Amino acid sequence: MKALSGRPLRPALRPGFAFLLAVVLAGGAARAATFTVTNLNDSGPGSLRQAVLDANASAGADDVVFAPGVTGTIALTFASGEIPITDSLFIHGPGAAALKVDANFHCRIFHVESPAATPIDVTLSGLTLTRGFAAAITIGGAVYSNGENLTIRNSVISDSTAGVFEDASGIGCGGNVGFGGGSGATLQIADSTLTGGNAAGFGMSSGGNLCMIGGKLILERSTVSGGEATNGGGLSLQALTEDSTISSSTISGNQGDTTGGGIALTGSPGVTVTIDSSTISGNTAGLSGTGPGIGVGGGVYLANGNLRIVNSTVSGNLATRWGGGISAQGSLLLRLTTVTGNTANVDGGSILVYPTPPELDHAIVANGTPEDLAPVPGLGSALPLTVTANYSLVEAPGSVLLAGAHNLVGVDPLLGPLANNGGPTLTHLPLPGSPVIDAGDPAIPSPPPTDQRGFQRIIGAAVDLGAVEVGGAIVEAPTLSPWGIAVLSTLLLGAGVWRLRRPASGIP
Kindly write down the DSSP assignment for every residue of 449-501, as one continuous string: SB-TTSBBS--SSSPPSSS--TT--B-PPPB--HHHHHHHHHHHHHTT-EE--
Encode pLDDT of 394-442 as tens digits.
Answer: 999 999 999 999 999 999 999 999 999 999 999 999 999 999 999 999 9
The predicted structure's pLDDT at residue 503: 32
Average pLDDT, the chain: 87
Residues 389, 394: Cα–Cα separation, whole Å: 9
Does 30 have pLDDT greater than 70?
A: no
Query: For residue 370, is the peptide bond before it cis, meaning its omega torsion is within 30 degrees of 0?
Result: yes
Does 336 have pLDDT greater than 60?
A: yes
For the segment 23-52, the average pLDDT, to the nearest whole number, is 81
Report the range of poorest mean pLDDT among 198-202, 366-370, 379-383, 428-432: 379-383
The predicted structure's pLDDT at residue 32: 84
pTM of the model: 0.88
Does 81 have pLDDT greater than 50?
A: yes
Encode pLDDT of 134-167 as tens digits.
Answer: 987 689 999 999 999 999 999 999 999 998 654 4
- What H or E segment, with its residue span, contains residue 17? helix 17-26
The residue with greater pLDDT, 290 or 445, is 445
For the segment 333-341, the average pLDDT, to the nearest whole number, is 99
Residues 352, 326: Cα–Cα separation, whole Å: 6
For the segment 303-308, the average pLDDT, to the nearest whole number, is 94
Please report which confidence band the pLDDT of residue 62 belongs to, taking 50, 70 and 90 as the band edges: very high
Residues in CB range of 364: below 8 A, 6 or more apart:
337, 338, 339, 340, 392, 393, 413, 415, 436, 465, 466, 467
Domain boundaries, the chain: 1-30+481-508
203: region left, alpha or beta (phi > 0 left; psi from -120 to 50 alpha): left
